[in-house]
Amino acid sequence: MYTQVEIGVSDCNRTCFKGRLNDECNACTCDDHVLTGRVLSETNVPLSEANISLAETPYRVLAQTNISGFFTAFNVCTDARQEIFITKAGFVPVKKNATVLTPTTANVVVRLEIAGKL
């Protein structure tokens, strides 16, 4: 028999330091918050189709970068404790904290390294 943790469902008794718990009980959401950013290669080439998620829920994609490497994710509670998880096929995944710009906006710029590089 599977427990809630084994199938990826979080505890609905979780406390959000900011915002409210989402319907899936796996992340906190802030209705008026916006996370923006850009994903680049090590040589500053914009990377499209990179997935943006929270480190605590890495399989729940919040946004994907466009052809210029930019993304926007709405309702993301970002603060000094919240790690953003960025992945793209062929590149090493990165966890990084966003820079809080205002009480409701944050930004992150990430450079990804090619996977398997010696």
The total number of structural domains in the chain stands at: 1
Beta bridge partners of 51: 64, 87
CA distance 1 to 47: 41
At residue 18's C-alpha, the angle toward residues 14 and 23, to 5°, is 50
What is the tens place of the pLDDT at every residue in 46-72? 999 999 999 888 898 999 999 999 999
Q: What is the pTM of this model?
A: 0.81
Q: Which residues form the domain of 79?
A: 21-112
Token pair belonging to 62 = 């919040």
What is the tens place of the pLDDT at every residue in 2-53? 333 344 455 687 777 777 877 877 777 888 899 999 999 999 999 999 999 9
Long-range contacts of 92-97 (CB under 8 A, 24+ apart): 95/55
In terms of residues, how long is the chain? Answer: 118
- Is residue 56 one of the residues assigned to a domain? yes
- Is residue 8 one of the residues assigned to a domain? no
Give the domain CATH number at 31.
2.60.40.1120
